[in-house]
Amino acid sequence: MDSLRVMVVDDSSITIKKLTQILEQIGHSVICSCKTGTEALAYYQQYQPDMVTMDITMPDMDGIEATRQIINRFPKALIIMVTSHGQEQMVIESIDIGAKGYILKPIKADKLAEMINQVYEKYKL
Amino acid sequence: MTEHSPNWAMSSTVIDFFSTELMIETTSTTSELNTIQKMELNYLTSLINVEGSIKMFVALSYDKGLFNEIFARYTADLDIAEDEQEEALTDSAGDIINIIVGNTLADVNETDKKIIMSPPLVITAAQQIACQRNSLFYKANLITKYGALDVYLLK
């Protein structure tokens, strides 16, 4: 599998650091990160990442709305939702609008690698 | 209180999270169900509001020694610069309550209706929160070798 250029969207600096560390350990690079849905839209347009990890619960624009707006403008965007247990309906809503998968917190390297591989193999251009 | 009540599940989830993710064992637990006019807060408190098919307000209030130990373990493998410490501390507290409340909701939600968790709030300089008169609350006090955690759940 190719090394992917990933954008990380999460309002927690710690989760951004953890995701960045895991993504780099499994051979990918984090080309940008941001903490709000509004920034995610602008950063996606600017950096055109191969894949996005998107937190669901964020202040200002949440991850579902940010995903909706990115998919509207970039229908082939590969977005993986990051959320905690207990948010299954939010995950279903995200998948319905075009997110390609999800992982649950606390984030485990093997689960993230598996989800990235699964999404990449299914949707790679 | 049953195994599927939010009260029971919340304490259970905290104990499990501390043990499996942070290797911190809870040595004793006490709990009470009562009415409240104010919550007495410890060194650091994180809060989340839950709306939807389950409605509740959750607060986790940590002793300083316990939270410092949790922070050290939760961020052990990360590089955090001196000027990032304060943000890292509050973000860690936010991450942890998000995971704990989410896991609790997964245990107790018996419907397929949407549940919305607010972004977490973290406060460090407050001594108490005033509540609506006679709010019903559940409080658990969890003791570890590093200090105590008070779990508040208001419905």
Chain A residues touching B103 at Cβ < 8 A: 84-86
Name every chain B residue with its beta carbon within 8 A of the beta carbon of A13. 84, 87-88, 91
Q: Quick: pLDDT tens for A54-83.
A: 999 888 888 999 999 999 999 999 999 999
B76 and chain A: CB distance < 8 Å anywhere?
Answer: no
In chain B, domain spans: 6-154
Helix axes B85-108, A13-25, angle to 10 degrees: 90
Domains in chain A (CATH in brackets) are 5-123 (3.40.50.2300)
This prediction has a pTM of: 0.90
Query: Which range, A51-60, B3-12, B19-28, B30-39, is most confident?
Result: B19-28
Question: For residue B131, is it left (φ>0), alpha (ψ between -120 and 50) or beta?
Answer: beta
Chosen CATH of B6-154 out of 3.40.1550.10, 3.40.50.2000, 3.40.630.10, 1.10.3470.10: 3.40.1550.10
A28-39 per-position pLDDT tens digit: 999 999 999 999
Nearest to A85 among B92, B102, B114 (CB): B102
CB pair distance less than 8 Å for A17 and B80: yes
Q: What is the pLDDT of residues B105-125, one digit of tens each?
A: 887 777 777 888 899 999 987
CA A79 to CA A51: how far, in whole Å?
A: 6
Bridge partners (DSSP) of residue B54 are none
For residue B92, list chain A residues with Cβ-Cβ distance below 8 A. 14
